[in-house]
Homo-oligomer: A and B are copies of this chain.
Amino acid sequence: MADIARSEPRYGNRPTMKDVAARAGVGLKTVSRVVNGEPGVTPDTEHRVREAIEALGFRRNDSARVLRKGRTATVGLVLEDLADPFYGPLSRAVEEVARAHGALLINGSSAEDPEREQELALALCARRVDGLIVIPAGGDHRYLEPEIRAGVATVFVDRPAGGIDADAVLSDNFGGARAGVAHLVAHGHRRIGFIADRPGIHTARERLRGYRAAMEDAGLDVADAWVSLGPTDPERVAAAAGAMLSGPEPVTALFAGNNRVTVTAVRLLADRERPVALVGFDDIELADLLGVTVIAQDAAALGRTAAERLFRRLEGADEAPATVVLDTRLIARGSGEVPPAGG
């Protein structure tokens, strides 16, 4: 069930190229040149036109533009980590939609650095992408407002935008984590550890919220020692899991907050004598053979939904920005159905 959160429309009574020309005191052809990145405009004039565009909130009609011009449309995708397998199917789905619309896709990665995200998104805009899909690293996207006003259609995916009203396509991180932890509770677990990415990351916070909700639903207290948020490198995750699994009252189950955590947890738990239950957020390749129970997100559907929304905007759709939330799915494969050891 997709949940749509609506907000106020932003586009309507839009200023035209004529308005921009009048304000800048130049001809229509000059505005067109600036907007379409054609040569033959002096830097001074270009500056004046850009100021008028900015002041009026002019947004070019991309639909007509993309269809009229001979050149290939291009959309940019700002990823968070090029090596995270979660983003592979997401990127490929965006690419497939782009191709179906005759457009090229170019990507870049922020490597989870908000400054890098901004630099990359603006660099893509400077290279005249027609639209942007952003997996945000940062929490403030006001830097994109002039670009969006200038006509760059923008959709956020996996995590929402901050500080601006924009389209977003997200997974139900809260609901998925809540269902995964409830699954462990249903199999008899009372002491459940939660290991996830850094708390600055939207999805980590949402999944933590889901974990806490499931524990509260079951009337279980959460000890501070059972929650660990931080970098997802194997060393940090192994140390966090090791701490939760030792001591006088060790956890009997782990909820892994993303695929990087799950991979380390699977390795770690394979070596233990007493079984520890495990449910991971995100499916991982070969999890079927290893019997790993997961909350699966549909990474391809995230990419596809975001890209389709982007192209609807590029084709002139004048809808209000909305947030689409995609459901997750629990896949029971064994590791999440292990009862508490010793219990």
Contacts and interface: CB of A to CB of B under 8 A. Distances in A.
Interface of A: 39-43, 46, 72, 74, 76, 81-85, 88-89, 91-92, 95, 99, 104-109, 111, 116, 119-120, 123-124, 127-128, 263, 266-267, 270, 284-286, 288-290
B95 A82 contact: yes
A43 B300 CA distance: 42
A58 to B, nearest CB: 19
A291 to B, nearest CB: 11
A285 B288 contact: no
A266 B287 CA distance: 12
Given A266-B286, A285-B285, A289-B267, A82 B92 contact: yes
Contacts of A85: 85, 88, 285
Contacts of A286: 263, 266-267, 284-286, 290
Most chain B Cβ neighbours within 10 Å, of A84, A88, A124: A88
A107 B107 contact: yes
A85 B88 CA distance: 7
A89 B95 contact: no
A106 B74 CA distance: 13
A284 B105 CA distance: 27
A171 to B, nearest CB: 18
Given A106-B127, A267-B289, A286-B286, 7 more contacts: A92-B111, A104-B120, A107-B107, A127-B128, A267-B288, A285-B285, A289-B290
B263 A285 contact: yes
A232 to B, nearest CB: 14
A123 B109 contact: no
Q: Which 6 A-B pairs have the closest CB atoms?
A: A83-B88, A127-B127, A82-B91, A83-B92, A107-B107, A82-B92
Contact of A88 (B82, B95, B267, B289): B82
11 contacts: A39-B39, A40-B40, A72-B123, A81-B92, A82-B88, A84-B88, A92-B109, A104-B108, A106-B108, A267-B286, A286-B290
Contacts of A124: 106
Contacts of A284: 285-286
A111 B88 contact: no
Contacts of A95: 82, 109, 111
Contact of A46 (B39, B41, B105, B120): B39
A340 B15 CA distance: 76
Most chain B Cβ neighbours within 10 Å, of A84, A109, A290: A109
Contacts of A76: 106
A119 B289 contact: no
A120 B107 CA distance: 12
Contacts of A289: 266-267, 270, 290
B119 A104 contact: yes
A156 B84 CA distance: 23
A72 B267 contact: no
Contacts of A72: 119, 123
Contacts of A107: 82, 106-108
Contact of A42 (B39, B119, B267, B285): B39
Contact of A106 (B39, B106, B270): B106
Nearest to A299: B83
